[in-house]
Amino acid sequence: MEDGMKYRHSAAQSTEYLRLAVKQMTQHAAGMHPASYTVWYEYVSGANPALRAELDSLLQGGVRLGDEEIHDLYSRHISELDARTALRIGDSVSQLVSHVSESTAVAGDEAERFGSSLARWNEELVDPATGGDALASGVEDILRGTRQMQKAVSTLKLRLAESALETERLREEVARAREEALIDGLTGLSNRKGFDLALATCLDELLPGAAGPCLLMIDLDHFKRINDSLGHVFGDRVLANVGQILRANVKGKDTAARYGGEEFAVV
């Protein structure tokens, strides 16, 4: 969703929503970070009805929201179209253009065949033995219109071919953006969102009665001590090395992810 298109509040409205959002943030355990602010801003402004309905239910139950709950709400109600939806849209658009192109090609072929038939009829009608000059003139007009139609269809076919190429390029960009959005930049593993998607896909594909997926959760002991004593640069190298080890030891449909901080997961 485009923020510029979604938020159309005046400066005065935005200021008031800011005050209300911060008031809500101070009443909960989650940190004062952008995700938390966005959740509460959309709640108090009424910009996101589905989010507001779920938050109202949670608040009525007396729930005090922490970072985990806030990030979950942000992921499900605010973040960009999830990867599966984005890819599905790209595939659908590509398929639609392909079908339209095929239909146009068929129409062009039919127009060409019709034009050829009319040309043959015209040759027969102008034969002196038939004396069909007047009728031949009418057929000539039809031929002229048919040629114009063929030209228009040819132009349309060309433009649709160009559109198909552009649509395919956009679909590839969506797929590439999808992959980048699901990768942790430091370790090269899936990030939390990528892990959640992989787990959801695994559960969706699970056949009745089949054994469920195996989940491995990993937490690096004393990692804070490493950061404090050796520095964050060294700590990042440790995380990157752990990512390399996990990538080297998973295979097939396994998904290794950096779940957050020094936490890793494999499914």
Record the tokens describing residue 174, joined without a space. 């969506």
262 is catalytic: yes
Catalytic residue among 42, 140, 179, 262: 262
CB burial of residue 264 (10 Å; 0-12, 13-18, 19+): buried
| CA–CA distance, 182 with 197 (Å, rounded to integer) | 9
Structure tokens at 26: 């101070």
- Tokens for 106? 């068929």
The conformation of residue 196, written as its DSSP 8-state character, comes to H
Determine contact, residues 213/267, Cβ cutoff 8 Å.
Answer: yes
Token pair of 1, please?
């969703």
Give the full edge-to-edge strand order of the sheet including 216-219. 216-219, 263-266, 256-260
Give the tokens for residue 78: 């605010």
61: buried, middle or exposed (CB in 10 Å: 19+, 13-18, 0-12)? Answer: exposed
Rounded to a whole number of angstroms, the CA Rg of the chain reads 31
- Catalytically active residues, by annotation: 262
